Amino acid sequence: MTVHFTWFHERFRVLPEDVTEDTVRIYARAYIMLLLSTKLFGDKSANRVHIQWLPFMANFDDMGSYSWGSAALAWLYRCMCRVANRNITNLVGPLQLLQSWIFCWFPSLWPSGFNDFSFLLASRWAAYLPPNDGEEQKVIRYRLALDRLTAQDIVLEPYSSLDVLAVVHPEILTAKHSRLWRVKTSLIYFSMIEWHQVDRVVAQLGGV
């Protein structure tokens, strides 16, 4: 049910000159499939493109009608549950999303030199590459930082920050959209269903 990433990369890496619009659409579909398989819904193979996405590529007009964010969040929740097992060592999934959430909610953990806000908010950390040296000491340091966290070290309402308000499109913060943040609902990624338990994090939504 998968195609090797190398084949995809070699086949669709460069768009030929003087191509038709149909060919451009084919290459666009291939690129979207790569993004879905490697960025949003990556697995431990790290080198396979799953063909489960083919039906979704058939009609570009329908792609906007799916809740891709909910599916990505469901996949991340499931991956985090799996990595909690003692025999699992690697975490997969949309880790840029997880990293962005950690840095937004726990400013004391974010690396230095990333003080400029932009939109999309997660793109702020796009160039961040953690060093590979001193892994053991790094784990000890982060555990100590987590143990020392106080209520003042946690940003429960990151969207209320003036820096964030300056770059986020105003429509996102309207009541029509903000109501979606408060919906307790199921997040669906094919056969995987995870619950979005917003009633457990009401402080993040301005509640008590």
- C-alpha dist (Å) from residue 92 to 42, 75, 116, 145, 174: 6, 9, 28, 24, 33
Mean pLDDT of 170-176: 85
Structure-block tokens of residue 208: 């008590």
Give the pLDDT of residue 207.
Answer: 66
Give the pLDDT of residue 190.
Answer: 92
Q: What residue type is 101 in one-letter code?
A: W
Domain boundaries, the chain: 2-64, 95-205
Name the pairing type of β-strands 185-189 and 192-196: antiparallel
Mean pLDDT of 125-138: 79
Give the pLDDT of residue 107.
Answer: 86
Rounded CA-CA distance 190/47 in Å is 21
For residues 134 and 185, the model is more confident at 185
Total-model pTM: 0.83
Q: What is the mean pLDDT of the chain?
A: 86
Instruction: Write the pLDDT tens digit of every residue in 142-158.
Output: 899 889 988 888 888 88
User: Is the Cβ–Cβ distance between 91 and 84 less than 8 Å?
Assistant: no
Give the pLDDT of residue 194.
Answer: 93
Instruction: Write the pLDDT tens digit of every residue in 31-84.
Output: 999 889 888 898 887 788 888 888 888 888 888 899 999 999 999 999 999 998
Mean pLDDT of 126-147: 83
Give the pLDDT of residue 23.
Answer: 92
Give the pLDDT of residue 205.
Answer: 62
Give the pLDDT of residue 147.
Answer: 92
Give the pLDDT of residue 71.
Answer: 95
